[in-house]
Structure 1
Amino acid sequence: MGRMTGYIPTLDQIDVLHHRIAPSQEAYDLIHTHCVVVATIARQIARRQNQLFAMRCKLGEGSGNALAAAAQDTQTAPESTDGVTGGKVPPRLIDEHLVTIGGLLHDIGTYRVLKHDGTDGEPLKFSGKDYIKHGLLGYEYLREQGVDESIAEFARNHTGVGLTRQMVIDQHLPLPASDYSPKTLEQEIVMVADKYNSKSLPPKFLTVDAYTRKAAKYGEDNKRRWLELVEQYGVPDVPALAERFHMRIVD
């Protein structure tokens, strides 16, 4: 993890961090619930990745390709963990606890991009022009609160399927010209998990196909990158998640 620059929050401390920045109970309910959903999906993906890694270790280094093929075959695939199917063997074990913490905090900056925040009598609404800033704002808030850099980066580095410096420049985004892509596998998993759930009102789950259409709006490279991530990390059981969290699904 490198040199510590702050503290790693406990689950109770994470909740305090949310309450401290939330302008209203309505905002907390929407954003904190989304973070719980994303942390749940991210943990499921991490467990699936670790399952595949453990099987490769058991079968031997040369089995990676065979295992990847088997993961796509419903007759021979290893039993999925928490409903995630498919996926490729990762280069190392994933830190499931770190993924959970990152998921619970990744969208904490969205409290600061609400146009109507639940205190003005209007329904919750995000500011379209400012929304792209939420990752950086979340990162800055967490660092201000003394949270370690390794955790704050989950907020900074989860937008889209990897926001690069060149994309910031080419799209004239209102952000400092920098790279906002994940730096670790754990950050990448949270970024992927985030794509399956939306804070729209009412909140909703997205299938792989639904997000593929969304990714395609930003170009074929963006769409291809998303599909590569799906191939690597597998597909969560969206219907089961939607039932668990009582949300609708967009196919």
Structure 2
Amino acid sequence: MIPTVEQAHELHRQYAPSTAAYELIHTHCVIIATIGRELARRANARYRAAQVRGAAERDGADGGQGSGASSWQSGDSMDSAVPQRELDVDLVYLGGLLHDIGTYRILASDGAEGRPLAFDDRYIRHGIAGYELLKAEGVDEPIAQFARNHTGVGLTRQQVVAEHLNLPVDDYVPQSLEQELVMYADNYHSKHQPPIFVSEPTAAKRTARFGEENLRRWKTLTAKYGVPDLGPLARQYHMDIV
């Protein structure tokens, strides 16, 4: 089953244990979905422009006869940072809405009745918790994977072992461009209390704390998808950018 956007919102209402938890986690997911959608549209525009450039170069190489006798192939680009295909913008938005659904299941305190809202020490497992929740709801595997594979810039099996992470030993990395973009967008907003937007320099510094390989992945993602304009969203939600 592929949920509709309204069904995704309903899952948040269904699993949120309190208004405070819903407002924090659902709002975060809406923000990431919005950032992801805008970045996907921009990436698609760059992809289409690269396709036009590639076609012009082929025509120039074969004298305009359209023989196609060149090394250029569909999906290639003179700009290696351009995604290899167009992204499904609606799928990015849906994945953004659902990526943190598992966070409701790792709350130490749900914030009800004026209590502080806090996550427990299993936070690293919120992706798996969301994946299991979505699978139990009958959600298709590629959609459930938005929850499973969105932490940081992707967690590899080697990282899970080396860092003794509280996760089953496996790779937790995106399996599609859409999953990759939601993972990337997720770095630009934090459920810190109060919630904040995260600038690219700050996100890069946070990523670098986990090693040079993580920072290299981050730089690849910024080149591929660009940096979102957080100002309008920060003003809309009355949140700071750090």
TM-score, length basis structure 2: 0.88
- Which of 119, 123, 135 is the aligned partner of 1:131? 123
What is the rounded CA distance, in whole Å, between the counterparts of 2:213 and 2:170 in structure 1?
Answer: 19
Matched, 1:159 2:151: yes
Aligned counterparts, 1:17-166, within 5 A:
17-61=11-55, 62=57, 64-65=77-78, 68=79, 88-119=81-112, 121-127=114-120, 129-166=121-158
What is the rounded CA distance, in whole Å, between the counterparts of 1:89 and 1:222 in structure 2?
Answer: 20
Overall identity of the aligned pairs, in %: 53
Structure 2, unmatched stretches of 5+, are 59-76
Deviations 1:145-199 (A, max 9, x none): 1111111000000001010111111111111101100010000000000000000
What is the rounded CA distance, in whole Å, between the counterparts of 1:11 and 1:224 in structure 2?
Answer: 34
Deviations 1:107-150 (A, max 9, x none): 001111111112364211112x2000000000000000111111
Asked whether the equivalents of residues 88 and 234 of structure 1 are also in contact (C-alpha less than 8 Å), the reply is no
Deviations 1:30-88 (A, max 9, x none): 000000000000001110111011112222255933xx4xxxxxxxxxxxxxxxxxx93
Matched, 1:249 2:241: yes
Aligned counterparts, 1:157-196, within 5 A:
157-196=149-188
TM-score, length basis structure 1: 0.85
Asked whether the equivalents of residues 52 and 88 of structure 1 are also in contact (C-alpha less than 8 Å), the reply is no
Structure 1, unmatched stretches of 5+, are 1-6, 69-86
Q: Name which one, 1 or 2, has greater alpha-carbon Rg.
A: 2
Instruction: Choose 219-228 or 27-36, whichever is displaced more.
Output: 219-228
Give the match's secondary structure for 2:150: coil
What is the rounded CA distance, in whole Å, between the counterparts of 1:159 and 1:49 in structure 2?
Answer: 21
What is the rounded CA distance, in whole Å, between the counterparts of 1:220 and 1:56 in structure 2?
Answer: 30
What is the rounded CA distance, in whole Å, between the counterparts of 2:206 and 2:217 in structure 1?
Answer: 12
What is the rounded CA distance, in whole Å, between the counterparts of 2:50 and 2:218 in structure 1?
Answer: 25
Structure 1 residue ranges (4+ consecutive) displaced by more than 4 angstroms after TM superposition:
none
1:232 partner amino acid: K
Asked whether the equivalents of residues 190 and 198 of structure 2 are also in contact (C-alpha less than 8 Å), the reply is yes
Give the match's secondary structure for 2:206: helix
Partner in structure 2 of residue 3 of structure 1 = none
Aligned CA RMSD, in angstroms, stands at: 1.5
